[in-house]
Amino acid sequence: MLTRRAIVRLAAAAPALTLTRPAFSQADIYPSKIITSVCMFAPGTGADIFVRFYARKLQELAGQTVVVENKVGMAGNIATEYVARSKPDGYTIFIAPASSVLVAGPYLYKQLNYDPIKDFASITTLAKLPFLLVVAPDIGVNSVADLVARLKAKPDNGFFGSSTTSGLIASELLKTQFGLKSTEVKYKSGLDALNDLMAHNIDFQFTDPVTVKQMIADGKLKALMLTSAQPVAALPGIPGAAQAGVTKLDLVSWWSVHVPAKTPKPVIDKLTGWFNQIATSEEAKKFLANLGSDPLIGDAALVDKMIASETKEWAEYVKIAKIEPQ
């Protein structure tokens, strides 16, 4: 039987026992539920394939289900805003071309419902790739000079498809250099634009190589040039912009990983480790090469540095292309 003195002694010891229990932080048990990887592109597009590859590899390393959720529209702003407003716990991640979303957004839109710097925490870089200028293969156009001549022979210089920020900027810079007035046709999905291109409803389109590399190999599209000034090893035989006679264009899209701001640093550190492990793997290098892209190994510091440095470049691109914010 416990005496009153013994009961008092046990009660006094209870707080001490509580203090010595191990404390488990959110990062210790992360991830303990499904992770959502938000994709700003439509299912089935090359960019969607890109996001799903990294989501699948993350699932293998994290030991937790990773689902891809496509939120399409407004040149990626719907998806970007969704991530910015998500709970900062590491369960919503954003694999995206930050170069054309977080960097370019402030110059293309009068009002954004998110702050591209303050509302996100960077994880790491993944890959870089130029865009491609493509046309239908059966219109007798084999070079940029051929395309310009064809457009100038058309009333109002024809039409071009637009579904991404990078594609729009490249198109406007091409128009500016050659004095074209070609009209933009907006598409929600790049695949819809390509279908219209092959049906001769539009005249040209700038698109990512992930989406069109196989279509070019199959003869369904013809690539005239890259948006990078120089050629790249992953896309042999396609001239860089400078070689093609487009001297005011050197645009390379790069992909990175982001989470909502205020995500705990231990969670960010876990994600950084996993994504860098994926990015340096031979499987990822082979995957990127097959899609016409090159790996870009880095960290959060590199992402932030690139965003800062390219902000000035995008400001100049928008100015040259005479694009009015929407």
> Whole-prediction pTM value?
0.76
CB 31 within 8 A of CB 58: no
At 321 the three-state DSSP class reads helix
Residues 6+ apart with CB under 8 A from 36: 66, 67, 68, 69, 91, 92, 93
**For the domain bounded by 26-129+253-321, which CATH number is listed?**
3.40.190.150
CB 204 within 8 A of CB 181: no
Note the pLDDT tens digit of each residue in 97-132.
988 788 888 888 888 899 988 999 999 999 988 999
Q: Which residues of the chain have pLDDT under 70?
A: 1-27
How is residue 171 written in tokens? 């198109």
Residues 6+ apart with CB under 8 A from 20: none
Same topology between domain 26-129+253-321 and domain 132-226: yes
Q: How high is the pLDDT of residue 248?
A: 81
Apex 274 CA angle, 44 and 294, nearest 5: 55
In CATH, what is the architecture of 132-226?
3-Layer(aba) Sandwich (3.40)
Q: How many other C-beta atoms can be found within 10 angstroms of the C-beta atom of residue 235?
A: 23
Q: How far apart are CA 128 and CA 236, in angstroms?
A: 16
Note the pLDDT tens digit of each residue in 66-90.
999 999 988 788 999 999 999 999 9
Domain map of the chain by residue range? 26-129+253-321, 132-226
Within the chain, strands assigned E span: 35-39, 66-70, 92-96, 120-130, 132-135, 159-162, 183-186, 204-207, 222-226, 252-260, 294-295
